[in-house]
Amino acid sequence: MKMRISLLIFAFCVAFVPGKAEIKVHTLTTDYKTNPLGIDNPVPGLSWIITSDRDNTIQASYEIRAAHSRKDVVKGRKLIWKTDQVESSRSVHVKYGGAPLSSFQKVYWQVRVRDNHGERSKWSEPASWEMGIMQENDWKARWISPDLKEEQGRSMPSPYLRKEFDLSGRIKEARLYISSQGLYQVEINGSRIGNQEFTPGWTSYNTRLQYQTYDVTGKLMQHQNAMGIILGDGWFRGRLGWRQGRSVWGDELAAIAQLMVTYADGSKEIFITDDSWQATTGPIMQSDIYDGEEYDAGRELTGWSTPGYDAARWQHVKSVDIVKTRLIAPEGPPVAIIEELPPLSLHKQGDQWIVDMGQNMVGWIRIRARGKNGDVITLRHAEVLDKAGNMYYDNLRSARATDIYHLKGAGEEVFQPHFTFHGFRYVSVSGYPGVLTTDDIRGMVIHSDMEPAGTFTCSDSLINQLQHNILWGLKGNFLDVPTDCPQRDERLGWTGDAQVFAPTACFNMNTATFYTKWLKDLAADQAADGMIPHVIPNLLGGGGATGWADAGVVIPWVVYLNYGDVSVLQNQYESMKRWIGYMQVHAGEDFIWSGDRHFGDWLAFASNRSDYMGAYTTTDLIATTYYAYSSGIVARVAAILGKEADARYYRDLSEKVKAAFNDEFVTPNGRLVAHTQTAYTLALAFDLLDGETVKKSAAYLARDVEQFGHITTGFLGTPLILLTLTKFGMNDLAYKLLNRKEYPSWLYPVTMGATTIWERWDGQKPDSTFQDPGMNSFNHYAYGAVGKWLYQVVSGIGIDENNPGYKHMIIHPRPGGGLTAARASHKSMYGQIVSGWKLEGEELTMEVEIPANTTATIYIPGDPSGILINGSPLSSSGMEYKKNRDNVMAETGSGHYTIVTTL
């Protein structure tokens, strides 16, 4: 049978109209951010997007100019930097090359470009960035701590700090620079400043502590003003880890704030934290990340952050010396309330209300009530209900996940917590005065405020729900660090989970600065011998587990491939080398890493069948595969950075480990000593096999998949198995694993009503009972790493590793598995990419968008002689192409085309 295939390739630009060609420059960013305040990178990377109404447009040259005022840069005067016309197609991560910058300076910049058609753009709209506090001696403020009596060993009432100050002149602009040990919220003149949550964020507190910069110009008044700061325990002093420990980084909460005011006449004035501030406690009786918050509205300090408030009974603060920690500007996105969810339903159960938010989410509940003084509302959070419809708390372990609100009895009252978050779908509300309605309650969804970047849909509703679960697993666990889970007494930055999920995360969200920030904490917490801890920031103490610690090599590489940003490689290179050195020491002269404690293929399938040994893959095999793989990555990084001697050294090391792996773990007929899906997947995915051994091992992998009929991999094998099957021509088996609906599979949790990815393949069993509550998260993104295969194989958007950041992309969808349609989009540094297809009878229509200043290789099935481009033969389209066994590979740039082919 012949199949007629129609491919539609739509460009980012519209069709070219002679005489009206125009190229535009827009979406200017500085270190990925739009007009950022308070950065401390002295040579930030500048990026822009170009669009054109002409096909096949590539930037041929660019010019950049910069000045300290918007007027000056627009008029091209008093410039601090002006490039010549730079002959380059580079439009991302162009390093600032102007006059050296100092603290507090603001820079406005513009860019214009010329394209390969000879068209020149207008100067772009100005963008800007503002430097933060770059030198330690520019901090005039003192660290202060509330001098209040506190008990150690439990969460205490949150301290409130305040200070009044007078502004004598007309205010032109004002900036607030602020940080804390613990968490803070800040108010000026009764208004909360900023929309960020959980500031100053979670870093390696012993070495790096972030401060935030706020534009508070509109919050200040001439003459009397007041500032107030609330402190919470947070990660710094609160309960953290399952060992019931507190005060991991210290037991004293503290704050530092510096307000810089510029008056209309150009004069400046600084107001700082010092020992003239006052402190007390208020309505937040306790607030802990794991356990929740208790708030007594009857103790509210009405007007406490406004001038004229009576603080006569407040206590003094004390100045404290904090010298071990360096204050740094934030690099990653802030945590914020991103959306509000209304309840799906609620019902009365005994003396409590059970509220279903319809989505396993991370954040908290905002509740509205009217009652009398002394009424107490208690909210408890859970991810699932048991088979009887009761709230299921066992998998939270010791986390109480409970918020308590004491009403003051003054009309309508609204409560939401300040310094805690929960992972939940269901909420038990007890003590509510009156009848609770869905209008009285909202789910406040929080996560790091990353720009959405990717979408995926297809003709199968279960797979669409899987994508939904992948995305919400990302949202729930990207809360300033990539955590493993958001609900139990853990919520830590496990390196293994982060490593396997990074490619999927980068497709769905712009995670560049999120990972860049976290990787610097990884390097800061790395031991002198190169050991990388299990969790970052490090509070557990252990480390050096293969597949987990390799995050220090793999994630910088993934970020580079997705965003084309060499700075992440430069920043992490020494850390990457130290990890390889650690593996060298522990593997020894035979290059086989055995004997150390590793997590292995965590939570792999355990078979009960008598004819199989389950799916246990020996840890020495896994460790050695990662030793070879990570060494090879470092060799490639060294070459990119121009370190040729290092590149040769690590290439040679990787080859030696590869040879040792084959000698130790591969039989002459291509069988691995650990005869598991994960063993074959890692060996094949990491290119550790040669010649006929590759074919034989691929056949063993296929046979294992066919015999089991399902996936048996754990955390390390799962992200790679479908990609490996596709790579070796077994796409039918990959689709078979994807489409399976019984345990174990990706779709089994979907059939059980999951709205996020589970930690275990069978977190909830078919009879609605649960797995071991000691480790059974229902929001654990690791298995969601299958997303990369959905985007790269099903919809067909792929990265060319030789031209990273989607400068050149691979469009290669591979329909199958009974799907009749699929579509994905991704917002790259150059603009939006789309690849989609729809099958109607024997005709297949593909939709593709390719942004300007990029090129693509399009894989078109069929014979070149039968392919039409916009109604004309491929041979007259101007595209270069060649034929392989299954496809025509056509090279193209931005443009829109309709391609018709017959198989």
pLDDT, tens only, 51-94 = 999 999 999 999 999 999 999 999 999 999 999 999 999 999 99
Structure tokens at 750: 């979907």
Whether 12 shows a pLDDT value over 50: the answer reads no
As a whole-number percent, the residues of the chain with pLDDT over 70 amount to 96
CB distance 23 to 862 below 8 Å: no
Structure tokens at 249: 């980084």
Mapped onto helix, strand or coil, the DSSP state of residue 214 is strand
pLDDT score at 614: 56
> For residues 721 and 682, what is the distance between their CA atoms, to the nearest angstrom?
8
Q: Assign residue 350 a region: left if phi > 0, alpha if psi is -120 to 50, beta otherwise?
A: left
Whether omega before 482 lies within 30 degrees of 0, making that bond cis, reads no
CB distance 670 to 656 below 8 Å: no
Whether 367 shows a pLDDT value over 60: the answer reads yes
SS3 content of the chain, % helix, strand, coil (to 5): 25, 35, 40
Whether omega before 744 lies within 30 degrees of 0, making that bond cis, reads yes
Mean pLDDT of the chain, nearest integer: 94
In DSSP terms, 445 is beta-bridged to 339, 363
CB distance 235 to 214 below 8 Å: no
List phi, psi (to 5°) of 57.
-95, 130
Whether 393 shows a pLDDT value over 60: the answer reads yes
| pLDDT tens digits, 560-616 | 999 999 999 999 999 999 999 999 999 999 999 998 889 999 999 875 443 444 579
The closest alpha carbon to 383, from 894, 65, 778, 837, belongs to 778
| pLDDT tens digits, 623-659 | 999 999 999 999 999 999 999 999 999 999 999 999 9
435 falls in which pLDDT band (50, 70, 90)? Answer: very high
pLDDT score at 151: 63
CB distance 426 to 761 below 8 Å: no
Mapped onto helix, strand or coil, the DSSP state of residue 774 is helix
pLDDT score at 871: 82
| pLDDT tens digits, 758-811 | 999 999 999 999 999 999 999 999 999 999 999 999 999 999 999 999 999 999
903 falls in which pLDDT band (50, 70, 90)? Answer: low
Pairing of strands 352-370, 441-448: antiparallel
Identity of residue 63: E
Nearest 10 degrees: CA dihedral of 643, 649, 651, 653?
-150
pLDDT score at 270: 97
9 falls in which pLDDT band (50, 70, 90)? Answer: very low
> For residues 536 and 516, what is the distance between their CA atoms, to the nearest angstrom?
13
Pairing of strands 872-873, 880-883: unpaired
- Please state the rounded mean pLDDT for residues 529-547: 96
> For residues 307 and 313, what is the distance between their CA atoms, to the nearest angstrom?
16
pLDDT score at 20: 57
| pLDDT tens digits, 177-211 | 999 999 999 999 999 999 999 999 999 999 999 99
Whether 269 shows a pLDDT value over 70: the answer reads yes
- What is the C-alpha end-to-end distance of the chain, expressed in Å? 8
CB distance 827 to 454 below 8 Å: yes
Structure tokens at 883: 């034929």
> For residues 345 and 353, what is the distance between their CA atoms, to the nearest angstrom?
10
> For residues 696 and 699, what is the distance between their CA atoms, to the nearest angstrom?
5
DSSP 785: G
| pLDDT tens digits, 802-843 | 999 999 999 999 999 999 999 999 999 999 999 999 888 877
> For residues 287 and 294, what is the distance between their CA atoms, to the nearest angstrom?
6
1 falls in which pLDDT band (50, 70, 90)? Answer: very low
**CA distances (Å), 782 to each of 150, 226, 644, in order?**
40, 46, 35
**Angle at CA 492, nearest 5°, toward 487 and 498?**
110
Instruction: Compute how many other C-beta atoms are within 10 angstroms of the C-beta atom of residue 297.
Output: 17
List phi, psi (to 5°) of 587.
-80, -35
Identity of residue 293: E
Runs of H (alpha helix) within 456-511: 461-477, 495-508
CB distance 787 to 456 below 8 Å: yes
As a whole-number percent, the residues of the chain with pLDDT over 90 amount to 88
For 717-757, the three-class secondary structure string (H helix, E strand, C coil) is: CHHHHHHHHHHCCCHHHHHHHHHCCCCCCCHHHHHCCCCCC
Whether 16 shows a pLDDT value over 50: the answer reads no
> What residues act catalytically?
490, 759
Residue carrying the six token digits 């394209």: 115
- Which contiguous run of DSSP H or E holds residue 160? strand 159-167
Q: DSSP states of 117-144 as a string?
A: TS-BPPPPPPEEEEE---SGGG-----E
pLDDT score at 404: 98
Q: Where are the beta strands (DSSP E) in 784-830?
A: 797-799, 808-811, 821-828
- Please state the rounded mean pLDDT for residues 539-558: 96
> For residues 212 and 227, what is the distance between their CA atoms, to the nearest angstrom?
16
Structure tokens at 452: 């959405």
| pLDDT tens digits, 123-140 | 999 999 999 999 999 999
Runs of H (alpha helix) within 478-550: 495-508, 512-525
List phi, psi (to 5°) of 837.
-150, 155
The closest alpha carbon to 336, from 519, 480, 130, belongs to 480
> For residues 728 and 693, what is the distance between their CA atoms, to the nearest angstrom?
13
Instruction: Compute how many other C-beta atoms are within 10 angstroms of the C-beta atom of residue 744.
Output: 22
244 falls in which pLDDT band (50, 70, 90)? Answer: low
The closest alpha carbon to 362, from 473, 504, 234, 238, belongs to 473
pLDDT score at 870: 77
CB distance 579 to 572 below 8 Å: no
> For residues 586 and 572, what is the distance between their CA atoms, to the nearest angstrom?
22
Q: Assign residue 480 a region: left if phi > 0, alpha if psi is -120 to 50, beta otherwise?
A: left
Pairing of strands 292-296, 402-406: parallel
Identity of residue 410: A
Whether 3 shows a pLDDT value over 80: the answer reads no
**CA distances (Å), 151 to each of 155, 157, 251, 252, in order?**
9, 10, 10, 11
Side-chain-side CA neighbours of residue 349 (13 Å): 16
856 falls in which pLDDT band (50, 70, 90)? Answer: very high
CB distance 395 to 433 below 8 Å: no
State pTM to two decimals: 0.96
> For residues 878 and 869, what is the distance between their CA atoms, to the nearest angstrom?
10
> For residues 844 and 341, what is the distance between their CA atoms, to the nearest angstrom?
38
Q: Distance from CA of residue 308 to its chain's centroid?
A: 44
Mapped onto helix, strand or coil, the DSSP state of residue 452 is strand
Identity of residue 578: R
List phi, psi (to 5°) of 687.
55, 50
**Exposure string (b/e) for 219-235, b if CB count within 10 Å is 16 or more?**
bbeeeebbbbbbbbbbb
Whether 10 shows a pLDDT value over 60: the answer reads no
Side-chain-side CA neighbours of residue 295 (13 Å): 24
Whether 729 shows a pLDDT value over 70: the answer reads yes
